[in-house]
A and B are shown apart, each in its own frame.
Chain A
Amino acid sequence: MKIHLDELELMQAAPASAELDPRVKLHLAACDECRAALNQVSTLRIRMNDAMALAADQPDEFWHRQQAAVRTRIAAAQREPVRASRGMLAALGAAGLATALLAGTVVWNVNHRSNDPLAVAAHAAHAAQTPQGNATPGTVNQTRAGSVLYNSGTNAADSDHEMLVAIEQELDGGAPDALSPAMGLVSEVRKAQAATSVRLKKSSKQ
């Protein structure tokens, strides 16, 4: 039985420049059917090449316009990341500035308020009126006077008050003359504390 060339072999043999396998060459020499088939495929290949070349044939302007379009789009794409990174840098800068401002404000508020004797005193008075344990460590407490105090866990106002009492007791128990200005300062602070305390009590009763 004669085995004819298959489609792949015909396609491989179709180009005029194709180097034919000796077996294929031998078969083609002896088989009219395969020779005709190869002729058909070769013609088809030439026609398709011509047709595709014709279909893709465009005037020079078309190719120039295409080159220019590619050039423009590449240039635009190159500019795009630069613009994006500048925008990103600006956003990062703004975010950093905002964070720094916020952090600064919070720190300033906490320091300023905890150093303010009046605020401390007001909080001490408030703490005296409310049962212990109401203030949760690490939370911000709103006093009746409207000021905000940060509760650091060990009630800051209470410890300050205790410290003042301790200093006063120490000084009362025979302090050297050199410490008399400190003694006066402690007395002043305690008076202010007591006055605020009374004022808060009155306002709360009203």
Chain B
Amino acid sequence: MATLTHSMDTAPSDSQTRLLEIADFDLVVRSYQRRIYRTLLGRLRDPDLADNLTQETFIRAYEKRASYRGESSLVVWLTRIAINLSLDHYRNRRANFWRNLVGMDGDDGQDGYAEVVAAHSSDPLASPERAAAARQELEQVWKVVGKLSEKQRSVFLLHFVEGMTLQEVAEVMGLHLGSIKTHLTRALKVVRGKKPAPRIEAPA
């Protein structure tokens, strides 16, 4: 499985396009679900939502498998679907904000930060010291990521954590290479504390 995942990450091939055509779509899900979930979690900071959108990503991929021509690697294609779904979510959340404002029901607007930290501080196998250290580490990183705008966060995590090339990030985000470079530069400045955090969390 690891070999398959690795080969799929690097370059598109006939076997990748074939995978979307053959019945064994499970293999695609098994190979990429962790990565897509991690990307969505980093972007959304909500484990439940990341789980839902990960499922949705694969369902969309299956529905649109005919449109996959193998121009980009499968992981880039899947990540783009995931990012688009999260963009839709932000748009809906923005609409929900206005609904809440006029008294209609919507989501509570809380991100899953506390939930993620709590979930990983109660590992029964970890020693109390190790769990505390992991929690502290996660808390700090989460705070740093939280300083970035949605777009900066996505670009930053895709390149810095997921190891995508700038070109791949541009493809996933649907932005020009120049914009990607600008977002990355700003994001790293914020993360390193060289620039004040943006005041408005503009939806990507």
Instruction: Please state if A45 and B137 are interface contacts (CB–CB under 8 Å).
Output: no
**What residue of chain B has the Cβ atom nearest to residue A10's Cβ?**
B188
Instruction: Please state if A7 and B41 are interface contacts (CB–CB under 8 Å).
Output: no
Residue B171, interface by CB 8 Å: no
Instruction: From the candidates B120, B163, B185, name the one contacting A8 in the complex (CB within 8 A).
Output: B185
CB distance from B166 to the nearest CB of A (A): 8
Residue B107, interface by CB 8 Å: no
Q: Give B109-142 as 1s and 0s: 1 = Cβ < 8 Å from A's Cβ atoms.
A: 0000000100010000000000000100110111
CB distance from B86 to the nearest CB of A (A): 15
Give the bracket for the number of chain B residues in contact with chain A. Answer: 35 or more
The 9 closest A-B pairs by CB, nearest first: A51-B141, A56-B38, A7-B188, A7-B185, A70-B58, A51-B138, A55-B116, A52-B161, A69-B55
| Residues of chain B with a CB closer than 8 A to A45's CB | 160-161
Chain A binding surface, main DSSP class: helix
**A47, B138: Cα distance in complex, Å:** 9
**A132, B161: Cα distance in complex, Å:** 92
Residue A44, interface by CB 8 Å: yes
List which B132-159 residues lie within 8 A (CB) of chain A: 134, 137-138, 140-142, 144-145, 157, 159
Give the bracket for the number of chain A residues in contact with chain B. Answer: 20 to 34
| Residues of chain B with a CB closer than 8 A to A44's CB | 191-192
Q: Give A34-75 as 1s and 0s: 1 = Cβ < 8 Å from B's Cβ atoms.
A: 000000110011011111111111100011001101110110
Residue A77, interface by CB 8 Å: yes
Instruction: From the candidates A41, A63, A69, A73, name the one contacting B34 in the complex (CB within 8 A).
Output: A63
Residue A32, interface by CB 8 Å: no
What is the interface of chain A, defined by CB distance below 8 A to chain B? 6-8, 10-11, 14-15, 40-41, 44-45, 47-58, 62-63, 66-67, 69-71, 73-74, 77
* A48-B161, A51-B137, A55-B138 known; A8+B26 contact, CB < 8 A: no
**A190, B157: Cα distance in complex, Å:** 99
| Residues of chain A with a CB closer than 8 A to B54's CB | 66
**What residue of chain B has the Cβ atom nearest to residue A71's Cβ?**
B26
**What residue of chain B has the Cβ atom nearest to residue A53's Cβ?**
B38
* A67-B26, A73-B55 known; A57+B120 contact, CB < 8 A: yes
* A41-B188, A47-B137, A55-B41 known; A70+B120 contact, CB < 8 A: no
Residue B68, interface by CB 8 Å: no
| Residues of chain B with a CB closer than 8 A to A6's CB | 185
CB distance from A36 to the nearest CB of B (A): 11
CB distance from A79 to the nearest CB of B (A): 14
